[in-house]
């Protein structure tokens, strides 16, 4: 009887030990999962992955602005909205005082689509920077823009947590638009691109629109790039049928019948658009919602939405190529990043001239106007070599 009692006690203690161990393991697993989810979500709240420069944030005070041209339109969603809610700042040849407004994205898209299409003279090129914070290569861009005021507009989409304002002598002064958080591989990336386009469309002098990142540089002087874009017959948005797993393999059958496999296209995120195509992009609701519902990793909207949209609605408006050079020769999911040691005249000239394409129906060796990804360490070398090589003015 005593042996049976000891055996029963031993078994009970064993059950208790096993149960305690299992419970502890489950609790620890839950803690690890919660922490892991938090870290991943926090890490993914970025604009462009693997860009390395993060300057310290500096708080600023939002000041009252004045404008040269304003557009007033009461909000239709609320009769109590103030008149200033729909004030949109425009630019003129003397520059911009501020781009800030309080419109929702839907109101912004509607207003941008209704802006008169009769352009002022001279026409302008809108440089739209999709970035997280400051521009580490900003001084190089300052040299590029110097002396050409009135021929360009600048728009910055940053993290909404970023509040640094450059000095008023900078071409980037008060060029931030109302921005929202962006996650790589999500529809928020497209939202940011459309937000940039819509804000740029509010200025009817803007006739060409180029999307850039903080790692981009111009490959020619302003005059060359301006003339190339303003005189182009079509937009430069890459759109092609890729039969591989990373192309057609990302198509989701649930997109049909609105989007079929025959409609499906892939292309570079870094596009250039004329005004007509830009309006098509911000006006789309049908295809955007199909992508939003059915394109998630390994399907990436920034690689497929615009190429597919253009193929569906206005394939005649694009050359199906990009004007932003990127080195994908190393393979992998991210392109090469160039550092100080890479910056030579020979390297830059290879990128500038050693390609073949068509421009307005004729063969051309100038196919790329911009290039990426350039590390902040390249700034000093670029400032030394490029002004002479690119013949910057001033």
Q: Within a domain: residue 142? A: yes
- Domain of 132? 105-391
Measured in degrees and rounded to the nearest 5, phi and psi for residue 88 equal -120, 125
Least reliable range by pLDDT among 47-51, 300-304, 330-334: 47-51
| Residue of higher predicted confidence among 333 and 167 | 167
pLDDT, mean of residues 314-340: 91
Task: Identify the CA nearest to 76 among candidates 86, 66, 84.
Answer: 86
Per residue in 370-388, pLDDT (tens digit) is 999 999 999 999 999 988 9
pLDDT at 111 (0 to 100): 78
Examine residue 248 and state whether it is found in any structural domain, yes or no: yes
The pair of three-digit structure tokens given for residue 317, joined into one six-digit string:
């408006």
Once rounded to an integer, what is the mean pLDDT over residues 217-239? Answer: 97
For residue 50, tell me if it sits in a domain. no
Is residue 320 in a domain? yes
- 338 Ramachandran zone, left/alpha/beta (phi>0; psi -120 to 50): beta
CATH of the domain at 234: 3.90.550
In the predicted structure, residue 20 carries a pLDDT above the cut 80: no
Q: How far apart are CA 354 and CA 282, in angstroms?
A: 34
Res 393: pLDDT = 72
Quick one: pLDDT band at residue 365, thresholds 50, 70, 90? very high
Sign of CA dihedral 326, 332, 337, 342: negative
Cα–Cα distance measured from residue 221 to residue 144, given in angstroms and rounded to the nearest whole number: 6
Query: What are 28-46's pLDDT values in tens digits?
Result: 666 655 455 444 444 333 3
Mean pLDDT across 275-296: 95
Q: How many other C-beta atoms are found inside a 10 Å radius of the C-beta of residue 29? A: 10
Does residue 336 lie within any of the structural domains? yes
The pLDDT of residue 86:
37
Strands 370-372 and 324-326: parallel
Quote the number of domains for the chain.
Answer: 1
Residue 52 scores a pLDDT above 80: no
């Amino acid at each position: 009887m005593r042996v049976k009692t000891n055996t029963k006690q031993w078994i009970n203690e064993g059950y208790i030990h096993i149960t305690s161990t299992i419970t502890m393991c489950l609790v620890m697993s839950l803690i690890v999962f919660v922490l892991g989810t938090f870290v991943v979500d926090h890490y993914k709240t970025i604009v462009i992955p693997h860009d390395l420069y993060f300057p310290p944030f500096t708080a600023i005070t939002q000041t009252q602005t004045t404008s040269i041209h304003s557009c007033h339109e009461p909000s239709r969603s609320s009769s109590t909205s103030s008149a200033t809610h729909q004030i949109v700042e425009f630019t003129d040849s003397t520059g911009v005082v501020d781009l800030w407004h309080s419109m929702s994205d839907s109101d912004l898209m509607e207003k941008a689509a209704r802006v008169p299409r009769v352009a002022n003279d001279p026409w302008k090129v809108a440089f739209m920077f999709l970035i997280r914070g400051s521009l580490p290569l900003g001084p190089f861009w300052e040299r590029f823009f110097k002396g050409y005021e009135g021929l360009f507009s600048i728009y910055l989409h940053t993290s909404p947590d970023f509040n640094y304002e450059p000095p008023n002598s900078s071409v980037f002064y008060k060029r931030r638009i109302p921005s929202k958080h962006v996650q790589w591989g999500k529809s928020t990336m497209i939202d940011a691109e459309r937000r940039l386009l819509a804000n740029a469309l509010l200025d009817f002098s803007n006739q060409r629109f180029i999307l850039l990142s903080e790692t981009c540089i111009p490959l020619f002087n302003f005059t060359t790039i301006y003339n190339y874009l303003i005189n182009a017959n079509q937009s430069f948005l890459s759109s092609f049928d890729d039969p591989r797993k990373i192309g057609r393999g990302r198509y989701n059958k649930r997109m049909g019948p609105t989007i079929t496999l025959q409609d499906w296209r892939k292309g570079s995120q870094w596009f250039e658009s004329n005004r007509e195509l830009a309006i098509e992009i911000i006006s789309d609701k049908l295809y955007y919602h199909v992508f939003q519902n059915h394109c998630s990793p390994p399907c990436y909207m920034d690689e497929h939405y615009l190429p597919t949209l253009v193929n569906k609605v206005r394939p005649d408006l694009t050359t199906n190529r990009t004007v932003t050079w990127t080195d994908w020769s190393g393979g992998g999911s991210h392109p090469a990043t160039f550092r100080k040691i890479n910056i030579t005249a020979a390297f830059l000239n290879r990128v500038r001239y050693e390609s073949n394409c068509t421009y307005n129906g004729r063969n051309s060796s100038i196919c790329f106007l911009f290039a990426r990804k350039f590390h902040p360490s390249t700034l000093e070398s670029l400032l030394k070599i490029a002004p002479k090589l690119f013949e910057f003015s001033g």
